[in-house]
Structure 1
Amino acid sequence: MKNTKKIEFKPLTPIDGNRAEAVNVRRRGDWMEVTGTPAAVCPKTTDDRFLGADRRGSRTYYFMQRNGKDVIMSGYRQDGTFTAVQRTLFADGGSVTGFAVSGEFVVMSTSAGLRYLH
């Protein structure tokens, strides 16, 4: 098909819970620390869950789900500096079950349906 694009999803399992457990991601009290490349420190509350990151141009954006319903962009990293934003992208968007970055799209599979950013 001419305009078809396959997007691979990284499933989030019940084992993920509300913790940020991914390669190079560590919880530091009320903060989440991403070590290695890229490195970032951003605010994270007890009910936040790290979803993933997207690199566009010279910035890397970080996404979280808050309280099991709101999807937020916690901030971005540019030139080695992390800038906290805490912008709500989808309010009460349902539990996120998958997250993928493909080209200019960030796609999230939620219990309420597919959500995407362009």
Structure 2
Amino acid sequence: MARTNGAVDPPSLEALFHREMVRICQRSRDEAGYHPGLLLRLVTEKGGLATAQQLLRSPLVSDGFTALWERGRVDLTAEALVLRPEFRVLFTEEELAAARSRLNAASS
């Protein structure tokens, strides 16, 4: 963390989002019995934000989304994380619409 005037700056929103992406990978494994190896690798290599954007731009839902849907845990998807109020500003309207659409379809 950067220091300004002797105070520690809070982590950036993008850094917080990245940490939460790693956290949902861990929670998927621990709470849903699903190991999202590919997602975790992408997050590690590209960062959480770029990975989420890549997932949202794909016309198809990821295998991980499907696996978590089958386990009744879409709350652990990148789509659910993207729609958290504190993170919405990081995404375009199109990306937010894609996340909403997938989650709505999963709840039907």
- TM-score relative to the length of structure 2: 0.35
Higher Cα Rg, which structure: 2
Structure with the largest fraction of helix: 2
Higher RCO structure (Cα 8 Å, ≥6 apart): 2
Q: Name the structure where strand makes up a greater proportion of residues.
A: 1
